[in-house]
Amino acid sequence: MRRIDKKSAVVMVAAVVCALPLFAKIEMGTPFSDGVVLQRERPVPIWGTAEPGSVVTVRFAGASASAAVSSDRTWKVELPAMAASKESRVMTVTEGAGETIAVRDVLVGEVWMCAGQSNTDCPIWGSNPRYRDGWGAMMLTSVNKPFVRLVKTPLVASEEPRTGYRVEWLKMTPDLYAAFQKGVRMPSAMGYYYALELANALDIPIGLVDSSWGGTNIETWTPRSGYEGLKDLDADRDWKIIERKDWKPEMKKGAVNAWHKQPRVLWNGMVAAYAPMACRGFIWYQGCSNADEYPRYANKMHALYNGWAKEFANPNLKLYFVQLAPWGNPSIANIQMAQAQFAAEEKNAEIAIINDVGNLKDIHPNDKRTVAKRLSLHALRRDYGWASVMDRSPTLKSWRIDGDRFILSFNDAVGWYVYNPDRSTDVGFEICGADGVWKPGKIVNIQVSKDGNGKERRLGTLNGADVIVAAEGVTAPTKLRYLHSAPWFGALYSDACLPLGAFAIENAIENK
């Protein structure tokens, strides 16, 4: 961003002598620095600060908009909807007849936010072998898409909304690797791959803002406005933020166990400055820090989504989020089902199931490509018109009991296969009868063939669209569950290559 002084040196000296301001100092809102990507096909708010009472005019791509500066120094204009463009253009912002500043190398395309805790924050490349993407260095040195731009928001918690700070839009080129070697923090691996997937598919500019912090809870990312109309979250909504200097360890309450994890302080410090930026939506990967309070997690996700949609002034804001991968926590199935509940309830949200890419010995699996690919399927189908894309993992539609068998029918699956690295066909079903004892369930409609010696072998493909499960020794089944016991890994996939997520049938008798 460059300032252009239109006044002569003589006039400037006179102004200083008279002790009167010659022109207002214009400052742009946080997103609007050189290299910014603006959202296509919808009105684009542009904002900042200047001298009260002056008039600011923004010009870009043949359009202009003006607004008076309020007494609190703020101004905001709205540019009309624009088509996507890779052309590097300049936005000029002028205060009256005085100062003009230029925001350079501005593109128009698709803009997304990216937020969450450590599996979001996990960088595309970093110095810690346990905390970076497994393909990161190869990607950084081989991908050259300068029309894809990424922001890594600094880690700052704040008691009040923090606005007006500067961010750098990083280009997705091999120069990123050199930047890493010079100490520049790399953006989210999940966000990097998500932006790359969209760029490859759409061939238009993509902007992605990464605001993430490891080990954080959902409350700290949720603005207060999100809690309206929701039950059982009064304590989060009405939390009085404790100043950093006054915070003591004994003040922790549940997932709020550090100063920067208090409700809304990371919204204030790392997200509020971007609102109401025009964007398509946000991707989210979080839940580990809230795993033990799963009964309220679906509601907490509603609060998060509602707050972001309000603050970004976008009732159709999209939220594509990641269901937690297994990492050894016994509550994993319950938090996964809470996440699935939210996805079923919120029309603008979709879930990516990744129970096949976890690591029980490391809470940070280093495969973020699969995660981003599954998230991008939702965007391609639901935002960009790719009707052929199958983006949803199966969900239970109905069931019935036939003798000692559960016959399960699902949405979004017309065929199935099992894949285990050890070539077994065990997939994590359990069934119990009236005695309440859970026993391993076996899929009984897996295709069987004979080898050259006439010996039967069970292949991975299932016969038919239903999944039929029985358990040895259970003649009158009453309950069924999937992935509720260690190791919690998914191995049952739909014909779209998407894994089935954890679920439970608590009382099958009622459905008989």
Per-residue pLDDT tens digits for 242-279: 999 999 999 999 999 999 999 999 999 999 999 999 99
Please, what is the average pLDDT of the chain?
93
pLDDT at residue 408 is higher than 60: yes
Q: Is residue 247 part of a domain?
A: no
| Strand, coil or helix: 481 | strand
- Note whether 489 and 418 are within 8 A (CB): no
Q: What percent of the chain has pLDDT over 70?
A: 93
Residue 21 predicted with pLDDT over 60: no
* pLDDT mean over 32-40: 98
pLDDT of residue 8: 37
Within this chain, do residues 373 and 309 fall inside the same structural domain, yes or no? yes
How many Cβ atoms sit within 10 Å of the Cβ of residue 355? 26
Q: What is the mean pLDDT of residues 276-302?
A: 97
Q: To which H or E segment does residue 212 belong?
A: strand 206-212
Q: Number of folded domains in the chain?
A: 3
Assess whether 507 and 365 both reside in one domain. no
Residue 14: its pLDDT value, please? 34
Same domain, 170 and 305: yes
Give residue for tokens 């065929």.
Answer: 415
**Segment 54-73 mean pLDDT:** 97
Segment among 2-11, 162-171, 285-294, 499-508 with least mean pLDDT? 2-11
CATH number for the domain that contains residue 88: 2.60.40.10
As a whole number of angstroms, the distance between CA 494 and CA 512 comes to 26
Are 116 and 100 in a shared domain?
A: no
Span 118-138, average pLDDT: 97
One domain, residues 127 and 222: yes
Same domain, 77 and 151: no
Q: Is the peptide bond before 487 cis (omega within 30 degrees of 0)?
A: yes
Buried b (16+ CB within 10 A) or exposed e, 49-79: bbbeebebebbbbeeebebebeeebbbbbbb
Domain residues for the domain of 286 are 109-232+269-382
Q: Is the model's pLDDT at 162 over the cut of 90?
A: yes
Question: Tokens standing for 213?
Answer: 């912090």
Whole-number pLDDT of residue 16:
32
Residue 9 has what pLDDT?
A: 33
Residue 480: phi, psi to the nearest 5? -145, 145
How sure is the predictor about 512, in pLDDT bands with cuts at 50, 70 and 90? very low
Instruction: Give the model's confidence band at 352: pLDDT under 50 very low, under 70 low, under 90 confident, else very high.
Output: very high
Half-sphere exposure of 101 (CA within 13 A, CB side): 19
DSSP string, 283-344: EEE--GGGGGGGGGHHHHHHHHHHHHHHHTT-TT-EEEEEPPPP-S-TTHHHHHHHHHHHHH
Question: Does the pLDDT at position 119 exceed 50?
Answer: yes
* Residue 501 per-residue DSSP state: P
Reported as a pLDDT band with limits 50, 70 and 90, residue 223 is very high
> What is the mean predicted confidence (pLDDT) over 288-299?
96
Could you report the per-residue pLDDT of 311-322, keeping only the tens digit for each?
999 999 999 999
How does DSSP classify residue 223?
-
Is position 92 within any domain?
Answer: yes
Instruction: State the pLDDT at residue 20.
Output: 36
Instruction: For residue range 341-351, list pLDDT tens digits in order.
Output: 999 999 999 99
Q: Looking at the predicted structure, is the pLDDT value of residue 10 above 70?
A: no
Domain with residue 178: its CATH number is 3.40.50.1110
Residue 18: per-residue pLDDT:
35
Residues 58 and 15 in one domain: yes
401 and 474 assigned to the same domain = yes
Where among 332, 359, 382 does a domain terminate? 382
Structure tokens at 88: 């590097």
Work out the widest C-alpha separation in the chain, in whole angstroms: 103
Average pLDDT of the segment spanning 39-58: 97
CA of residue 249 relative to chain centroid, distance: 30
Mark whether 200 and 313 lie in a shared domain. yes
* Residue 301 pLDDT exceeds 80: yes
CB distance 85 to 107 below 8 Å:
yes
What local confidence, expressed as pLDDT, does residue 156 receive? 98
Residue 247 CB partners (closer than 8 Å, separation 6+): 258, 259
Average pLDDT over residues 198-206: 98
Is residue 425 assigned to a domain?
A: yes
Question: What DSSP string runs through 96-133?
Answer: TTS-EEEEEEEEEEEEEEEEESHHHH-BSS-S-TTSS-
Mean pLDDT of 445-465: 80
| Exposure string over 194-225, b if 16+ CB within 10 A, otherwise e | bbbbbbeebebbbbbbbbbbbebbbbbbbbbb
